[in-house]
């Protein structure tokens, strides 16, 4: 409902994660334009890679970064991303992947967060 306040078109794609058919999840896309995309039923990892390569966007978001697929793929394709992750170990793994790929990040005040 919150995305509907920002974007006139909100699409939910049925997905799986870790390439396991029983691990169901959704990928949500907010946009100004309706597009028929080949993403329904794909694994989240494949959807994220497809979006970061083929979609034009200002910033991509990930509410639960986990392994950092969104951040790493966005960085790899020169795109901006924003995300949240409560598990500091998982966050450090993603930051290490981005650093190893030549990316930089800055740690700021805890309340302000971090930028990559």
Cα-based torsion angle of the residue sequence 66, 10, 13, 18 in order, rounded to the nearest 10 degrees: 0
Closest CA to 61 of 85, 43, 39: 85
Low-confidence ranges of the chain (pLDDT < 70): 106-116
pLDDT at position 56: 85
pLDDT at position 86: 87
User: What is the total residue count of the chain?
Assistant: 116
Q: Alpha carbon 91 to chain centroid distance?
A: 13
pLDDT at position 8: 94
* C-beta of residue 12 within 8 angstroms of C-beta of residue 33: no
Q: What is the pTM of this model?
A: 0.75
């Amino acid at each position: 409902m919150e995305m509907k306040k920002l974007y006139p078109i909100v699409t939910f794609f049925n997905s799986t994660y870790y390439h396991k058919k029983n691990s169901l999840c959704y990928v949500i896309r907010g946009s100004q334009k309706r597009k028929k995309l080949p993403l329904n039923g794909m694994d989240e990892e494949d959807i994220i890679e497809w979006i970061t390569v083929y979609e034009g966007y200002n910033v991509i978001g990930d509410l639960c970064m986990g392994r950092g697929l969104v951040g790493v793929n966005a960085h790899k394709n020169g795109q901006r991303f924003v995300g949240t992750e409560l598990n500091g170990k998982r966050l450090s793994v993603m930051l290490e992947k981005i650093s190893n790929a030549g990316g930089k990040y800055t740690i700021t005040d805890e309340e302000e967060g971090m930028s990559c």
